Structure formats: structure tokens, C-alpha cells
Structure 1
Amino acid sequence: MDKDYITELISSKLRLIRTESRYTQEKMANVLGISKKTLVQIEKGRSTAGWAHVVAVCALFRNSEVLQSALGDEPLEVIETVAHRSIDRPKGKTLGGRIWWREIERKGEFRLQQNLISYHYRILDSYDDLWFSSFEKKDALARLDELLNENEDR
């Protein structure tokens, strides 16, 4: 997944996200800071939203079932991973990956999961806190080993 793919994907789902939220075109355009004419063009597939507007949609409508099913659970995590190509930060509560994730490997208190939609990887601890996220499996496996070693050294 990359910015272009996500921009196309979210642009194609914008009408569904808007109707799911029961917003008029006028209200949705206002929320996103674009003109109604621009929104209509995006909804009709004549143009695509810009990256900044896609990020805004993912932030403002992160609980949208349409958005979650398009990106696989947590839209902001996918957006952040794409924007930075990986996330490596301690802590950040998740829902634990019971629906959109499959477990790849478990080591100590950490588990590596892969998203069933976006295919990115993440590492969670036993409290479902996010420790790492990347589209690269080798990077995720290396970080899993590092976290395990850091945890054993304590």
C-alpha cells in the first residue's frame, strides 16, 4: 500500500462514508474544507481527494465501518504507517486485533500480527499496546526480536 493507492481507495469510498454518517454533500464538504463542487467530482470518480483530505477523512471518520473495512480496522494506524513507512513508538492502546488481524508469531509478551486488508504488520504487547508497525515483514520480525531482548534485559 502507498499514498496513491490509499488516496484512490478513500476517494472511491467517500460517498459511502458520507452517507453512513448521514451527512449532506454540503456538510461533508464543509467538514473536509473543500467545496461542494469538488466533493461531487470526487464522489463521481472524476477526481480524487488530496492526501491531506484523505488523512482528514481517516481522522474524522475513524469509526466508520466503511473506512475500517476498506483499510482493515484502524484507519489512522494504516495512514501513519504509509506516511512514515513504519511506526516505531512505544505504547498506544489498540483493540487487540480480534477481527482484522492474524497472528504471525508470538514471543514472550509480544505478538506480531498482519492486517488482513492492508497487509501491514504490527507488534502488540500483552496489554494490546502498539509497539511497532511496518509494511516490511523482515523489519517487523527484527523489531520483535529486539523488543524481546530489551524486555529480557530488564
Structure 2
Amino acid sequence: MKIVLQRTLEASVEIDNQTIGQINHGFLLLVGVSDDDTQQDIDYLVRKITQLRVFEDEQGRLNLNINEVAGQILSVSQFTLFADTKKGNRPSFTKAGSPDFAKIMYNKFNTSLQNTGLYVATGQFGENMKVSLVNDGPVTIIFDTHDK
């Protein structure tokens, strides 16, 4: 799995001019799944994301995790994280998970995040979405379970 995490002041996702997911302070997660991802990958990412200390404490240091600041998560599926751009000008997406498998894993990932007690809003898998955010910092972190 690959995840691009962005610390946000606010974020939302729209389909056909209707907001389907929205958060305030927290993380926007762009989530890509490959066919060899497992429940262990989900568990690893949930642990890393929920314990990631990238929110400022009273001294202005990045010392607090999302739970300690009552943050929220907006999770959006994004198969294009597995784009292969080595040859030509049109990316190949053969390394992205098959849609059926990727949807199952994306939903399991979101459920695992929710089971930690966090508020988790989502996009809609396989849809053309418009994602908006106000990046806070900016803080952007990339996770790749193939490179732990």
C-alpha cells in the first residue's frame, strides 16, 4: 500500500458538485492498493498514522499525534499512486491493485482507522472526485509498505 498523508486545516471531497466527505483539522490520506497488500500492511499503516507525531505541542515542536489534537481523517482512494512513468509519456497502472481487491482493502483500511476511535470520512472508491484541502505546514508524509 502507498499513502500520501497531508496534515490539513480542512479537507473535502466532492462528486458531481456534492460534498460526500469533509473534515476539519487532521489528515487527508490518498490511499493506493496493490494486489500483494495484506492485513499486516493495513495494521502497520494504521499504527504508523495514528501514532505519527506531526502536530505542534505548546513549545511549537512536532510532538503530538492525531488523537492528542482531536484530529479527523479524510481517506480517498487513489490508484494513480502506483503509476509507472519509466517508459513513454503515458503512465502505466499495472502495479495498482485490481479494482475488486483494492476496494476491499481500502474499505478494510478505513474500518481499521475508525476502530481506533478516530472520525474517518471517505471518498467513493472508483469515482471521479474533486479533492480540496488547506495543507497545514505544509506537512506531507509518504508511506509505502513495500519499503518499511
Structure number, greater radius of gyration:
1
TM-score by shorter chain over 0.5: no
TM range (shorter): under 0.3
Bigger helix share: 1
Q: TM-score with structure 2 length normalisation?
A: 0.23
Q: TM-score with structure 1 length normalisation?
A: 0.23
Bigger strand share: 2
